[in-house]
Amino acid sequence: MTINLIDNIIENYDSYIIFMYKNNITFENTLFYSEGLYLKNLAEKSGFNAKKEEIFVIPFAKGNSVVQIVLVGLGKKEKVNTEIVRKSLYKGLTTLKNVESTLIIKNNPIENIEKALVETVYFANYEFDKYKTKKAEKKKIKRIDILGNLNNNKIEEAKIYAESTFITRELINEPANTIYPETLAEKAKEYGEKYGFEVEIFEEEKIKELKMEAFLSVAQAAEKRPKFIVMRYKGNKSNETIGLVGKGLTYDTGGLSLKPTNSMDTMKSDMGGAATVIGVMSAVARLKIDKNIIAVIAACENSIAGNAYRPGDIIGSMAGKTIEVLNTDAEGRLTLVDAVHYVIENEKADKVIDVATLTGAALVALGTTTTAVITNNDELYKKLEEASIETDERVWKLPNFPEYGKLLESKIADVKNIGGRFAGTITAGMFIEKFVQKKPWIHLDIAGVAYTDSPYSYYKFGATGQPVRTIINFLKKI
């Protein structure tokens, strides 16, 4: 698919998308001004009044062919924002039938909607169907041109945001028999070579030398052996470094604290944090962001075997802290703390961001539309919130009061890996906080947003790619 910003129309299209405000159906500044009164009457008599996400398709004879004119309602002019544009345009694009070329006519004064337009086009055209032997007969849009007063640099940047999100979606949507620690590492290398960031892979022997006992305890029962993935991008001459850590559980059975059967089929998505940081690093390199960023992934499977780690075990960690394991399904945080310690001690990260599909409690607290956040630095959170508003990907900060930290105190080790029944998302984040050495740190629990069983908004079934776009924006700000 190609997306181009154009100044003049030099060819015909299969369809034309035109935005409309509520109770203000007009064809001024469009190709159809001369037919405007007819089209306006047709739309209004059919009950169309341009409410937000309201779509009206008009088959229209143009020359020797019939084209589709798609009227996309945006609602009241004074209330329109980029999220309304995304949702409405997505609905309009997915209404199209057997269309290969489309012209989007920006006939309204909305500013800074380049990203919203381009990202929505990508989202509407996305399908994960590589394993279907019979593809859907519906034609995919091959070319979209945008006519209007827009910034081409922003259009090109938006393509990078969308394509990086697709990297994340593809990795998460792949089944666990194709994406496991070795192949995830290979994918990281592939994107590093393609886009220009360094990738180093640590094998199990090196991981043992680094004394990542918490990580290795989770991995020890799996037939697929663990990999530790390090991605380095240097975009600034200073020594300041941002550490980006992604949870890389390519499959999670829960270990001996076995998950229910109906909770296992989506556990291929438990490497959503890892997929997110790979997508982000691809964008960072392509956009040439002027920051030094080290991203790390402790990639493994949490499996069952006679040598699996057990509830009641006490294990070590790279930081030297001992951990009482009370639930083997609280494994992601064990891999993350070794990765966090590594990026601080060995890569000298000054700030740390970790991204993980960490807790089911995040869904209970915030549902499927909002990323849960824990942080020790309010300034970092303010910048994350600003970044999320720009991308329309919601975030919400949960408290990290000292009382929650006390729930992780162990009678026989330095810390235990769960805090009990309540405040599960908070205590999981605060477990990681115990290993950040008071560095500015922010934790994103994406368990609710990374994957969806039911299509909603402009997200189809499967991986959503959230919050790749927000993190890219965030990295620019810090």
Instruction: Show the domains of the chain with their CATH numbers.
Output: 2-150 (3.40.220.10), 160-477 (3.40.630.10)
Per-residue pLDDT at 110: 74
- Catalytic site includes residue 259: yes
CB 417, CB 334: distance < 8 Å? yes
Per-residue pLDDT at 108: 65
- Contacts for 452 with CB less than 8 Å, ≥ 6 apart: 368, 459, 461, 462, 464
Per-residue pLDDT at 30: 82
Answer whether residue 446 shows pLDDT above 90.
Answer: yes
Q: How many CB atoms lie within 10 A of CB 132?
A: 9
- Contacts for 394 with CB less than 8 Å, ≥ 6 apart: 369, 370, 371, 388
CB 131, CB 268: distance < 8 Å? no
Q: Looking at 150-154, 256-260, 324-328, which range is the least confident one?
A: 150-154
Gap between the Cα atoms of 391 and 149, Å rounded: 21
Gap between the Cα atoms of 463 and 449, Å rounded: 9
Element holding 145 (H helix, E strand): strand 143-147
Per-residue pLDDT at 131: 96
Answer whether residue 29 shows pLDDT above 80.
Answer: no
Answer whether residue 31 shows pLDDT above 90.
Answer: no
Element holding 274 (H helix, E strand): helix 272-287
The average pLDDT across 411-423 equals 98
**Band of pLDDT at residue 426, cut at 50, 70 and 90:** very high
Gap between the Cα atoms of 37 and 52, Å rounded: 22
**SS3 for 134?**
coil
Gap between the Cα atoms of 290 and 241, Å rounded: 11
CB 132, CB 443: distance < 8 Å? no
What's the helix, strand, coil split of the chain in %, to 5? 35, 25, 40
Q: Which residue is listed with tokens 């329109």? A: 80
Q: Read off the pLDDT of residues 158-188 as tens digits, 9 standing for 90 and up.
A: 999 999 999 999 999 999 999 999 999 999 9
Per-residue pLDDT at 139: 67
User: Which listed residue (224, 333, 351, 383) is catalytic?
Assistant: 333
Environment class of residue 101 by beta-carbon count within 10 Å: exposed (0-12), middle (13-18) or buried (19+)? Answer: middle
CB 132, CB 88: distance < 8 Å? no
Q: Which residues are annotated as a binding site?
A: 247, 252, 270, 329, 331
Gap between the Cα atoms of 347 and 317, Å rounded: 17
Answer whether residue 33 shows pLDDT above 90.
Answer: no
User: Which listed residue (22, 51, 143, 259) is catalytic?
Assistant: 259
**Band of pLDDT at residue 100, cut at 50, 70 and 90:** confident
| Phi, psi of 166, deg, nearest 5 | -65, -35
Gap between the Cα atoms of 202 and 210, Å rounded: 10
- Count of alpha carbons within 13 angstroms of residue 457, beta-carbon side: 15
CB 334, CB 323: distance < 8 Å? yes
pTM over 0.85: yes
Per-residue pLDDT at 64: 83
What's the chain's average pLDDT?
A: 95
- Catalytic site includes residue 421: no
Q: Which residues are annotated as a binding site for Mn(2+)?
A: 247, 252, 270, 329, 331
**Band of pLDDT at residue 148, cut at 50, 70 and 90:** confident
